[in-house]
Amino acid sequence: MKYVSIAIVIIFAAVVVGFWIKKDPQQQAPISDEQITEEQNLPEQQNETLSEETKKEEKTMESNKRLLANFTPVAKTDSLKKIDLVVGTGQEVKAGDTVSVHYTGAIASTGEIFQSSKDFGTEPITFPLGGVIKGWTDGIPGMKIGGTRRLVIPATQAYGATPPPGSGIPANADLVFDVELVAIK
């Protein structure tokens, strides 16, 4: 009798567990030959989908690139070019001055912006002209407060073969900067 009671409990437990497994949504049914064939094609379909998604992401990234306004990319520049977009009316910068500016820097060959002072907030950036790249040291003097100047700078007067790490500036890249002179300190 004792063994019969234990057997009944075990059978009951097996029925309950079997019912629970049958109702479990995580439990999968056996796979048919037809499903195996479909699953064999799945990686190819996934690759096609991933390829399409990658193309869409690349297009989105391409369209998210910021380009310098009113600038036609130039393949190469051999000398510093200073172009006054807006002539200022205030005090004139002299060599060695400390200036406050807003700037936007881009790669000259693509026009793609790598940095803008406005990425860091609304306040202008202040620095001594002796502490920047040669293209700025030579290109800023002569500007007047309130003016905006475009500097097209050859790589030899920018960062040359060693641009700042993580800057997005390729080695030996010519650069272009739009510089708005806010103040002379």
Tell which CATH architecture fits domain 81-184.
Roll (3.10)
14-57 residue pLDDT tens: 443 344 344 444 444 444 455 444 445 545 555 555 455 544 44
Q: Map residue 38 onto helix, strand or coil.
A: helix
What is the DSSP secondary-structure string of 122-145?
Answer: SSPEEEEGGGS-HHHHHHSTT-BT
pLDDT at 105 over 50: yes
Mean pLDDT score of the chain: 79
Task: Check residue 90 and give its pLDDT.
Answer: 96
- Residue 96: Cβ within 10 Å count: 10
pLDDT at 66 over 50: yes
In which residue ranges of the chain is CATH 3.10.50.40 found? 81-184
Q: Which two tokens stand for residue 169?
A: 């500036």
E strand residue ranges, 29-144: 81-86, 98-107, 113-116, 125-128
Q: Which two tokens stand for residue 147?
A: 């003016």
Q: Which two tokens stand for residue 136?
A: 């700025």
Q: Which two tokens stand for residue 109?
A: 């060959």
pLDDT at 68 over 60: yes
pLDDT mean over 161-176: 96
